[in-house]
Structure 1
Amino acid sequence: MTEYIPVSESFVDLEIRIFRREEEGYPVEITLNQEQVFPRGYLPPDILPWVPTGDLVADGQRLYELLFTDTALYSAWAEARGQAPRRRLRLRIDPAAAELHTLPWELLQEGPAMLSAQADTPLSRYLPIALPWGGPIEKRPIRVLVVISDPADIESKYGLPPADVELERRTLESAFEAVAPGDLQVDFLDPPVTPERLEERLREDYHILHYTGHGAFSARRGQAVLYVQSEDGNTRLLLDDELASMLARQGIQPRLVFLAACQSATRSTVDAFLGMAPKLVSVGVPAVVAMQERVTVESALKFSAVFYRRLLEHGQVDLAVNEARSTLLTAGRPDAAVPVLFMRLKSGQLWGAEADARGELLGTENPRIFWKGLLKNIERGKCIPIVGPWAREQWVPSPGEIARKWADEYKYPFSDKEDPAQVIKYLATSLGEDFPRYELLDALKHGFLERLPARLRPEGEYDTLSELVEAIGWGGLTVGDPNEVHKVLASLDLPLYLTTNYDNFLTAALEAQGKRPVREICRWNEALDDLPSIFEDDPGYEPTPEEPLVYHLFGNDQEVDSLVLTENDHLDFLVRISAETERIPSYIRAAMANSSLMFLGYGINDWGFRVILRGLVVPLPRRRRIKNIGVQLDPKDVSVEDAAAAQRFLQDYLQDIEVNVFSGSLQQFMAELREQWEAANR
C-alpha cells in the first residue's frame, strides 16, 4: 500500500450530466475538471426501451453511437478526449431521469475499447444528493469486514446454489495477503450472518464492508434484498431499507461497500434511489460496488480478487473496478459489464499516502504546535470560525454552477459563463439590482431540495432555504457523517461564529446539539437600520457556548436587502464598515482582535475573502494578544505550490499576524480538527 498515483498527475475529471427529458430528448452536458463546459446536446428520447442483443461489443457500440448522435456532443467528447487522454468519467443522471439508470452504461464501447475496462478512463455513476463528498481513509490499519452468507435452506427454499464458503474465504485472503498487518486488518463475520450480528460488528468502525451471497430485486416493489440468515441458520431477507438504515445509524460508516450479490445494483425506473446500492449511497456511503444483473460465482470471485489486489496497490476505487472488469473481458466472461460502481469520491481515491489524506499545513515548521495552539484557543473560547461559500458545497449548487445556469437561461453573451461576479453583474445591470438576489435565493433552495433523497423531502412549499432546513432537521441530514463542516464546528463549544453565507446551516447544526443560538445580520446599509439587534436590546449582551451568536456578515435569506452579492455590494460593504465602524458591533471587533481566526471554505480570490481581510482583519490593532490566522484552501482552487505562494502573500499582507495555510480539502481539515479535538477531550 505504499504505491500511490497522485491524482493531479494521472486523471482529469470528465462529467457527463444527463437531465430530465424535454421535447427534443434528454439534455446532456459534458464538463471537464468542473470548469470547462462544452455546448449542450441531446440524447435521443427513443433510446428507451433498451433491448439487449446479447452481444456486449455490439450493444456497447450502439449505446455509444446513441449517446453521441448529437454532433454537438460528439464534438465536445472529441475535444475533451484530445485535451485529456486520461479521463476520470463520471456519469451523473438527474433524479428526474431515473429511467436512464436502467441502461447498461458500463458497456459503452468507443471503437475496440470498452471505456469501463480501460486504465485511462475509470468510470463511475454519480447520484446528486445533499451529502458531503467522501474523502480518503486516514487511519491505519484499514479495517475490512467480510460477510459470507450461506443459509442452510437457500437451495431447498429458493432454488439457489449454496455458497462455497471456504473458496470465497481463500480468494479474499489471497487478495489481501501482500499487505502488511499494520496497514490492513481483515475480519470475517462468524455465522450465522444475522442482521443483529452484522450491526454489532459494524459498530467497530470498519472502513470496508464486503458481502458475498445471494440477492434479488423486485421491480414490482422497487426493492432489493440480500439473503442473510436467522439465528437457526436458515434464510432471512434483509431489505435494502434495513441495510441502509443500519449503516446510517453508525457513527463511522464504511467508506466502501462491495456487494457480490445478484441485482444489488438494480435500480427503479422511477426513482434513482430505489435499489440496494443507490440507497446505501443516499445515506452517505461514498463508494458502492454492486451487481446490476445476475452474475456467475466464477465471475464474482475473479472480479473481487483482482479488484482488491489493484485497490491495495493504488487506492483508486474506479480504476480498480476498470482493471477488474478488464480481467473478466480477457477471460471471455459474458457478465463483465454486470459490476457497477456508484461513487462520491471526487478523485476516486479511497486511501493514499498519509500526507495526501490529511492535507498539508504551511506557515509553520511544527504542525503539532499549530494544532496544540488552536485547540487551546478553542478550549478558551478564543477562536472564531469564519465560514465561506465552499463550506456548503455538498448541500447546494456552487456559485459557478449557478452562474453557468443563469448564463444559459438569460443568454449571457460573454465567454466567462462560470464567473459568478460577471454573470451577476450582467443580470443586475440588465434586470435590476434585486433580480439576482431573488434568483439566487430561489436557486439555493431548489438546488438543496433536488439533492435530497425522496424520503427526506418535506411536504408543502417553503419560502426560503432556511425554512426548508428547519422543516427537515439538521440532525437527520448529517447522521453518519462525523466530519460535516457545520456539525464539527457546532461541537466546539464556541461563543461566536461568523459567516458570509446566507443559509442557516450553522444555526441548525448548533440547535441539533442542544444549543440555543442567536442569529444576527450585519446592518451594513441604511435599509437595514430599523431591524432589531440583540446588541441594542441588551447593551451588555455577550454570547456563550450554550447560547452562541451566529453573525451573518453578508446577510441571510430572511432579509433580501441584507445580501452582499454584486461587486457593488462588496465595495459598498467595505466602504460602510470602514467609514461607519458602528455597523460592526464593538463586541465582534473586540473578539476578533483577541482571538485566533479560522477561515474555512474560501478561495484565495473570492470577493468575500478579500473584503473580510481588508475590512475587518487588516484594521485590527497591531497589539493583538493572539496573533494567528488559519486559512483553509482547497487544492481544486490552488495547488500546493500556489497555496505556499498564497501563504507568503498573506503573511506579507498581514505583516505581524502569523498566517498558517492548510492546503487540503475542507473535509480533510474538519476530519483532522475533529480527531484532534476529540483526542484532547478524552
Structure 2
Amino acid sequence: MSTRPMRRGDALARQRGPKSQPSKDLFFKKRCKDIQDGKLIPIIGDTIRNAHIFDHDADQNLGVATAKNQANSHIDYDKLNVTEELTQSWANGGTYLEGKEEPITYPLTDNIRIARVAQFYALVHNEPLTAKEDYLSFLKDELIGIAYDVAEMKNDNEEMAFIRQLAEEQTLSYSDIVAELDYPQFPEGQEDPLQILARLPIKVYITTSYHDFIERELEAAGKYPQSRLCFWNMAPENLAPEHRPNPDYKPDKNNPVVYHLLGMEQYPASMVLSEDDYLDLLWAIARDEKGQSHNGDGIIPPYFEHVLKESSLLLLGYRLHDWDLKVLFRGLLRGDEGFVKRRRSSTAIHIDLDEQPMINDKEKDRKQAEKYIKDYFKQASFDVKFSRSDDFINTLWQEWLDWIGAES
C-alpha cells in the first residue's frame, strides 16, 4: 500500500509555533544549558501522542466511546486521559475466546486501570501474550472505527474507501495505521510536541510507549535514530538486528537512541502491560542491579546507567497513580542515596494537576496536593513544574530558540 501525501505539509519548515512570551524562570535557562551540553533526557509517556491521535478535531474531546460517569465513584470521569478512556472502551468491549460467540468483559468497577484490565484478560486467556496481542488489535480497530466515523460525517467517500482498505491490511501495526491516516492532525499554528522534541539536539530519549512515534519524528527531522528495548523477559537474539544491543554504539544528536522501557509493539511479548508484568519488570531490575540478570544481559544498558547519573531528566505525560510512572520512579530514577546525590541537581519533572483525576478542585486541596507532589519527588532530586505537556514543550522550544539566538 502506498502512503498518501502528507496533509499537514512540511511541518519541519515551521521554526516557530504560536509566539509565547519567553520565561524569565531560570528553570528553562538551565534546561537549555542541559540541551546544549547533551545532558537532557526526555522521558515520554504514551499519552503525549495518543491524546492527539484520538482528538481528531483538536477540540480537546477524545473520540473514544466511554461509559457514563459513575455518580458514586471517587474518580472524576471528566478528567480521564486517553489511556484511561481507551482502557474503559477495551474493558467494556471485552475479549473473545475461541468457540465463544459472546465476549468476556471486565467485571470490576476500576475499568480505567489498564494494568488491571490486562491482568484480567491475561487470566481469561491463560496466556499473557494473547492479552497483549488483543490490546494491540483493539487499538487498531478503535482508531479505524473513529477515523471511519469522521470520514462518514464529512461524506468523504474516498477517505472511507481508503480506511476500509486499511482495515483489511493485517500486517500493519497500530503505528503504521496512525502514519497512513496522517494522524494526529493539528490546527494551523499549533505545534506537534513530538516534532519539537525531535528537532532539539538531544541524543537520548526514553519512552514508556510501545510505539515508534518518536523514531518516526526523528527520521522526519533528518536524523537516524536507533531503537532499543528493555530485556526484562526476553533475550536479545530474539530481536531484529537493528534492535539488538551494540556495545560500540554511541548516540549523538544526529544519531540518537530511543530506549523503550516497557517494550515495543513489534515484540508483543516484550510489552509491560499487566500488573504482573510491572512487578516482574521491577524484580528484573532489582536482580540486574545485583548482577543476577536471568539471561545474562543487563536490563538497563551500561551506557544508560552513566547518562542517567549525568543528565537532567524531563518526565512528560504521566499521571501520579499510573504504573508506568511508579516503575520509572521506583525502578529506574530514584535509586539509592548515592545515585541520587551523583545525579545532576537540575533534574526536573512536569506534572499537570488539571489532568490528575484523584485531586480535588478545592483550592486548599490543590495546594496540599502540590506540596505533597513536590515533597514526594524531592526524594529523588526532582524539581516539579505544574503545566500541560504541550504548553511546557512549546515554552521549552521558544526558550531554546532564544537561547541559541543569544549564543550565536
CA displacement 1:118-173 (0-9 Å, x = unmatched)? xxxxxxxxxxxxxxxxxxxxxxxxxxxxxxxxxxxxxxxxxxxxxxxxxxxxxxxx
Deviation at 1:445, TM superposition (A): 2.4
Aligned mates of 1:602, 1:573 — CA distance in 2:
18
Match of 1:628 among 320, 341, 346: 346
User: Is residue 2:119 matched to residue 1:425?
Assistant: yes
Q: Which residue of 2 aligns with 1:584?
A: 300
The letter for the 2-side match of 1:369 is: L
Pair 251,541 (structure 1): closer, same or farther in 2 beyond 3 Å:
closer
Any idea what the Cα deviations from partners look like across 1:644-681, whole Å, max 9, x if unmatched?
Answer: 32111111x32xx2x22221211111121111112212
Q: Which residue is equivalent to 2:386?
A: 663
Deviates more, 1:401-410 or 1:565-574: 401-410
Paired amino acid for 1:515: K
Alignment of 1:248-397 (within 5 A): 251=14, 368-392=25-49, 393-396=51-54
**2:198 maps to what in 1?**
490
Deviations 1:538-571 (A, max 9, x none): 4221111111111111011100110000001001
Following TM superposition, by how much is the alpha carbon of 1:252 offset from its aligned partner in structure 2, in angstroms?
9.6
Out of 430, 433, 440, the residue aligned to residue 135 of structure 2 is 440
Structure 1 distance, partners of 2:330, 2:276, is 16
Distance 1:591 1:368, change over 3 A: same
The RMSD of aligned alpha carbons is 3.4
8 Å CA contact retained: 1:387, 1:601: yes
- Report whether the alignment pairs 1:602 with 2:318: yes
Report how far residue 405 of structure 1 moved.
1.8
Q: Read off the aligned partner of 1:630 and give its amino acid letter.
A: A
Shift of residue 643, structure 1, vs aligned partner:
3.2
Mark the CA change 1:585 to 1:250 in structure 2 (over 3 Å): closer, same or farther.
Answer: closer
1:614 counterpart residue number? 330
Indicate if the aligned counterparts of 2:227 and 2:242 stay in contact, CA closer than 8 A.
no
CA distance 1:619–1:625, shift in 2 (3 Å): closer
* Cα shift at 1:625: 5.0
Matches within 5 A, 1:78-93: none
- Distance in 1, Cα, partners of 2:16 & 2:238: 48
Q: Deviation digits for residues 255-287 of structure 1, max 9, x if unmatched?
A: 9xxxxxxxxxxxxxxxxxxxxxxxxxxxxxxxx
- What's the counterpart of residue 158 of structure 1? none
Report the CA distance between 1:606 and its aligned residue: 1.1
Q: What is the distance in 1 between the residues matched to 2:134 and 2:24?
A: 43
Which residue matches 1:265?
none
Q: Which has the higher contact order (CA 8 A, sep 6+)?
A: 2
Higher-Rg structure is: 1
What is the count of residue pairs matched by the alignment?
Answer: 327
Partner SS for 2:111: coil
Q: What is the deviation of 1:390?
A: 2.1
Amino acid in structure 2 at the alignment position of 1:570:
Y
> What is the distance in 2 between the residues matched to 1:473 and 1:482?
16
CA contact (8 A) 2:17 2:190 kept: no
> Match of 2:268, as an amino acid?
V
Contact 2:207-2:259 at 8 Å conserved across structures: yes
Matched, 1:676 2:399: yes
1:398-447: per-residue Cα shift (whole Å, max 9, x none)?
22222222332233222222222322222222223223211221222233
- Of the three residues 87, 91, 95, the one matched with 1:407 is 91
Q: In the alignment, is the contact (CA less than 8 A) between 2:346 and 2:383 conserved in 1?
A: yes
CA–CA distance in structure 1, aligned partners of residues 344 and 241 of structure 2: 28
Partner amino acid, structure 2, of 1:607: W
What's the TM-score, normalizing by structure 2? 0.71
1:387 deviation in Å?
0.5
Q: Which amino acid aligns with 1:372?
A: K
In terms of fraction of residues, the more strand-rich structure is 1
Question: Counterparts of 2:203 and 2:254 in 1: how far apart (Å)?
Answer: 8
Cα distance, 1:253 vs. partner?
Answer: 11
Q: Where in structure 2 are there 5+ consecutive unaligned residues?
A: 1-6, 55-63, 65-81, 95-104, 152-158, 290-297
Greater percentage in helix: 2
Instruction: Give the partner amino acid of 1:394.
Output: H
Q: Show the counterpart of 2:282.
A: 574
Q: TM-score scaled to structure 1, two decimals?
A: 0.44
